[in-house]
A and B are shown apart, each in its own frame.
Chain A
């Protein structure tokens, strides 16, 4: 098979098709040809892509039917983006898709992986189609590659942005769940803290507690950190500040439930333990609080 065509043959071909004669079609003409090819071979290329996806074991969180359905949408969006050279629709679709698949546990590398696979599958089909005309193949690739790369980029970025949005949402939810300020006796508040405290949560805790002290006119607060595994020096300092701020509102703070690790942190950062009133566990803390408030708990009768 002749790999080179004479220039006359090229001109004749060009004349027949009514395009310019220099042997290089306008980029948009190339793109149209490319898109037509991708549409014509849609079924076959899409199937090839889906089988590559399962070969490389991507999207294991989804069923075959789901993968096929999404693959169809992605393929069509891909081709449309190539055709229109606009990416907003693709971006919107990518975010929409991400919203659906992130809760299914699909990860970033999977999404980037399948988009790159599609890019490869389509490129290979172009190699196959234009294998006899290397120059044409090059021109087609000149049109295809930047657009394909932009598409991969758009989808990946869309996915990551959606993931970040979900993470921010979850963090907000966790912060709100976090800390109830509970009144268990007149003038006695309990603040049970569970989980990880970052500086932002620590700040929110302090504000909530101070407002609670004022609202409930509390004289003693028991802050229980049994549910907190560790805290760094910054957060430990926040805790000390919380104790000091509570005192300015006339309330005494008892901290209970310090783990060995946290005790170590407090000693290491040189917290003035004279300022911190601590008791081993929550029960002990409540008992001391009651003493401070002048309560005494006595059994009414012998337990049966």
Chain B
């Protein structure tokens, strides 16, 4: 399943669909970084609003994505984690440590814009 990636100025927005297989996630990991390189983006928003469950593989992949993108000098924000999903994640010890998070797309963009100002 293709994950749509949209460009919004210097930010890329990847919107996760509900049921992503492990293969989809691996595919996305490479694809997203390639896009960051090609388009010289400074920030990436991964929107997981549609995900109703987050397992350890998905969580680890998100952290890897964020780290790989940071190596390209760009910042990643995960947005749209649902309350029930957040609760389940912390109970499993999946805290997405070291990765920025925000409530939704609007907050994610606001966060990145702040970041861009301070790193200019």
Residues of A with Cβ closer than 8 Å to B? 206-207, 210-211, 213-214, 217, 219, 241-242, 244-251
Contact = CB atoms under 8 A, between A and B. Distances in A.
Contact of A245 (B78, B86, B107): B86
B79 A214 contact: no
Interface of B: 78-79, 81-84, 86-87, 89-91, 95-96, 101-104, 107, 111
Given A245-B89, A248-B101, A249-B101, A207 B107 contact: no
A72 B45 CA distance: 76
B81 A206 contact: no
Contacts, number: 53
B41 to A, nearest CB: 21
30 contacts: A206-B87, A207-B87, A210-B83, A210-B84, A210-B86, A210-B87, A213-B83, A213-B103, A214-B82, A214-B83, A217-B107, A219-B107, A244-B90, A244-B95, A245-B86, A245-B87, A245-B89, A247-B95, A248-B78, A248-B81, A248-B96, A248-B101, A249-B86, A249-B101, A249-B103, A250-B102, A250-B104, A250-B107, A250-B111, A251-B103
B93 to A, nearest CB: 9
| Residue among B81, B95, B103 facing the most chain A CB atoms (10 A cut-off) | B103
A218 to B, nearest CB: 8
Given A211-B83, A213-B103, 14 more contacts: A213-B83, A214-B82, A214-B83, A214-B103, A217-B104, A242-B90, A244-B95, A245-B89, A248-B78, A248-B90, A248-B95, A250-B104, A250-B107, A250-B111
A242 B86 CA distance: 9
Contacts of A249: 81, 83, 86, 101, 103
B110 to A, nearest CB: 10
